[in-house]
Structure 1
Amino acid sequence: MYVDPRVAHGRAKFDLNRSPRMFAEERRWEISDVITQCLDNFAGPRNRRNLMRLLERQVAPKLARLGLEPYVGPVGHLEGLFLNFSTMSADHGLREFQLQLTVPDLVLRSFASCTIKPHAVARCLQRNGVISLAEIERETSAAFVFARTIRPLALVEHWKQVGVPTTNGLFVGEMTDSDDICMNTYIRPGDNDRPSRWSGFAGLFSDMPRWNADQIRQGSDLLQWMVNHIVALQKSAPFVERFPFLTEPYRSIDDPLDATWAAARASAREDSASS
C-alpha cells in the first residue's frame, strides 16, 4: 500500500505522542524513583551479599510490575542490576535506554544508547506501506536489539555513519559524539531503480530469519544470530574495508520524494508550534 509521506509523518507524530505500547519519557524517572526508594529504605549492612539480595528480592520485582525485565547478576566485569527500556516522544522519536546499578558502589547510570528519530519512524511506516506504529513494532524493536551488537563493532572500526539491518529493511544514521547510535532514516534498498551505497551492506544480512514477536521481545536469539553472522563476515574482510564510506560523516542522499518529505516535516513543525 502506498503511504503519502505527509500521512506517514502525521501518523508517526500521533503515535509517538499517544501510543500506550511504549513508555512515556516520564517513565524513566519513575524507574529511578523505584530504585532510589528501595535503597533509601534499606537499613542493613551494605555489603555485596546484602545488596545483591536487595536488588533481586525487592528492586527487580517492583520493576517487573512496571512491565520491565530487569536482570540481576554479572555482566562482564560488573555486577548488579541491568535493564533496557524504551521511551517515545514526538520530539525525540523512539529511544532505548540502558540502566545499570552496580554493586557494591551503588553507582546508578542511565543513558540513551540508541535513538530512532521521528523521520526514521515515518520512513519506516511509508516504506512498509502501513500507517500505525504497532505495525512496524517488529522492525523498530529488532533494530534496538541489533544496535546493541552493531554499536561495539562501529566503535572498534571508528564508524561515523551506521546501518542497522532488520528483516524488511535498513535503518541508517550516525554515531553521536557520545558514541551512541542515532538512526535518522529507514530505507529498503532495491525497492526502486536508484543505486544506493547501502545496497551491499543490506545484502550481507539478506538471509536474516523472520523473527517472531517472542524472539524479538527476549532478544537472545537475535543477538546470538547477529554476533555469529558478524564474526563470520569479519573473517573475510572488515566492514570498513568492504564499505569505506562508514568512516565518512553521515549525509543525507537526495531522494525523489525529498521535496514531499521536506513539506511533511515543515507541516509537522508548524503543527507543533501552533499546538
Structure 2
Amino acid sequence: MLDVRVAHAMSKAGVEFHLDDPKAILMRASAVVSKLLMPLLYRRPSARDLRRHADRVIIPELTRMRVSAGLSESSGTPFLHCVAIAGNESEGVSVMEFTLALACPKRGCFRTLVSMSPHAIARLIQRARFDSFRAAMPSIYTALNAATQLRDTFLDLGCIQAAVPAAGGLFVGDVLSDESLELGSWFVPGESNGHSRWDNLHRLMGNMAGSDGYLRSSDVGFDAELAAIDLRLRECPLLESRFPFLFQHYERRVNPLDERWRLARRQEQAQGQAAQEAA
C-alpha cells in the first residue's frame, strides 16, 4: 500500500493535470451559450424558438465541451441547466452547475452540487491500491455521477452524512447547509479492524458499475442502479435507527492503518537519525 504522502501528491498532481479549474470551465461554457444565443435574441424569439435553438445548437456544442446540459421551464420561461466536472489541487474535484434563463443568458446562477476533497482522492488511490490518478478516474467519476443523482435522496431523508459506493468501498462525507455533498474520505468498511458501522449500509447500497468521464444524461443501466439504491434507502425500515450516524455530525475516529503508517515513519526517521550519528 502507498504511503499516504505519496497518494496525496498523486492526487494533487493528477487533478491539476487532468481537470480544468471549476470557475474556468463554467465561465467558458457561459460565454459559449451567450455567443450562440445573442444573434437569435436580437430577433425577439418566442420561448419555443429558444428551446429549439438550445436543443439543436447549444446543447450539442456544450456536450463537445464535456458539459452536460438540459432544459426546464418555469412560468413559460425556458431555463438551461449546465453541469460539469472540474477541479484544482487545493479543492479537489467538484460537480458544478450553472443555470440561466435563455432569454437573459448573461445572468446565471452558479453552485456546487458535489465536491470530493484531495484527501478523499488520496485515500482512494492509497487504499484501493491504484498506481496513478488516471487509473482511479473511473471510480472518481462513478462516485461523482452517483452522488449528484443521490443528493436529493439524502436531502429528502434529512441526512447529515452521506455515502456513495465506488471501487468496492464507500466515499463518505457531509450534507452541507447549501444542500451540496462534500465527500471527505474513501474506505472499505471493516477492512482495517474487521468491523465498521458502515458495513450494513454498504451492503444495503451495493456497488456501482464504472462510469465515463463526465456526467451522463442517458445511461439506462447506470440510472437503474441509482434508482434501486434510492429505493432501498427510502424504503429501508427504521433507517434512522439502523444507521443513526447518517443523522449525526461526523466524529473523527482513530484508523489503525494510519497509526501503523505513522509508527513506520517514526521508525524510519529514527533509523536515519541513528545512521547519521554513527557516521
Q: Answer yes or no: same fold by TM over 0.5.
A: yes
Asked if structure 1 preserves the Cα contact closer than 8 Å seen for 2:143 and 2:165, the reply is yes
Cα displacement (A) at 1:142: 1.1
Q: Which residue of structure 2 lines up, in the alignment, with residue 120 of structure 1?
A: 120
Cα distance in 2 for partners of 1:229, 1:152 equals 12
Q: Which residue of structure 1 lines up, in the alignment, with residue 185 of structure 2?
A: 185
| Shift in CA distance, 137/213, structure 1 to aligned 2, threshold 3 Å | same
> Where in structure 2 are the equivalents of 1:133-212 lying within 5 Å?
133-206=133-206, 208=207, 210-211=209-210
Cα distance in 1 for partners of 2:35, 2:211 equals 37
Q: Which residue of structure 2 lines up, in the alignment, with residue 24 of structure 1?
A: 21
SS in structure 1 at match of 2:95: strand
Q: Which residue of structure 1 lines up, in the alignment, with residue 87 of structure 2?
A: 88
User: Number of matched residues?
Assistant: 258
Q: Residues 223-273 of structure 1: CA distance to partner in whole angstroms, max 9, x if unpaired?
A: 322212331453341532320111111233211244658xx9xxxxxxxxx
Q: Which residue of structure 2 lines up, in the alignment, with residue 269 of structure 1?
A: none
Cα distance in 2 for partners of 1:158, 1:9 equals 32
Asked if structure 2 preserves the Cα contact closer than 8 Å seen for 1:215 and 1:221, the reply is no
My pick for the range that moved more, 180-189 or 93-102, is: 93-102
Asked if structure 2 preserves the Cα contact closer than 8 Å seen for 1:139 and 1:168, the reply is no
Whichever of the two has the greater Rg, that structure is: 2
Cα displacement (A) at 1:176: 1.2
> Residue 50 of structure 1 aligns to which amino acid in structure 2?
D
Q: Which residue of structure 1 lines up, in the alignment, with residue 52 of structure 2?
A: 53
Asked if structure 2 preserves the Cα contact closer than 8 Å seen for 1:149 and 1:227, the reply is no
Cα distance in 2 for partners of 1:32, 1:71 equals 14
| Shift in CA distance, 220/95, structure 1 to aligned 2, threshold 3 Å | farther
Structure 1: unaligned runs, 5 residues or longer: 265-275
Q: Residues 181-203 of structure 1: CA distance to partner in whole angstroms, max 9, x if unpaired?
A: 00000011132324222111112
SS in structure 2 at match of 1:70: strand
Q: Residues 8-65 of structure 1: CA distance to partner in whole angstroms, max 9, x if unpaired?
A: 011111111222xx33332221111111222333311142012112312332233233
Cα distance in 2 for partners of 1:55, 1:212 equals 26
> Where in structure 2 are the equivalents of 1:68-83 lying within 5 Å?
68-72=67-71, 79-83=78-82
TM-score normalized with structure 2 length: 0.80
Q: Residues 145-183 of structure 1: CA distance to partner in whole angstroms, max 9, x if unpaired?
A: 211232112112221111111241100110112010000
Asked if structure 2 preserves the Cα contact closer than 8 Å seen for 1:73 and 1:79, the reply is yes
Cα distance in 2 for partners of 1:85, 1:155 equals 21
Asked if structure 1 preserves the Cα contact closer than 8 Å seen for 2:85 and 2:215, the reply is no
Residue identity over aligned pairs, in percent, reads 22
Structure 2: unaligned runs, 5 residues or longer: 266-279
Asked if structure 2 preserves the Cα contact closer than 8 Å seen for 1:145 and 1:219, the reply is no
Cα displacement (A) at 1:67: 3.3
| Shift in CA distance, 28/174, structure 1 to aligned 2, threshold 3 Å | same
CA RMSD of aligned residues (A): 2.9
Cα displacement (A) at 1:140: 1.0
> Residue 239 of structure 1 aligns to which amino acid in structure 2?
L
Asked if structure 2 preserves the Cα contact closer than 8 Å seen for 1:190 and 1:199, the reply is yes
TM-score normalized with structure 1 length: 0.81
SS in structure 1 at match of 2:66: coil
Cα distance in 2 for partners of 1:154, 1:114 equals 12
Q: Which residue of structure 2 lines up, in the alignment, with residue 251 of structure 1?
A: 251
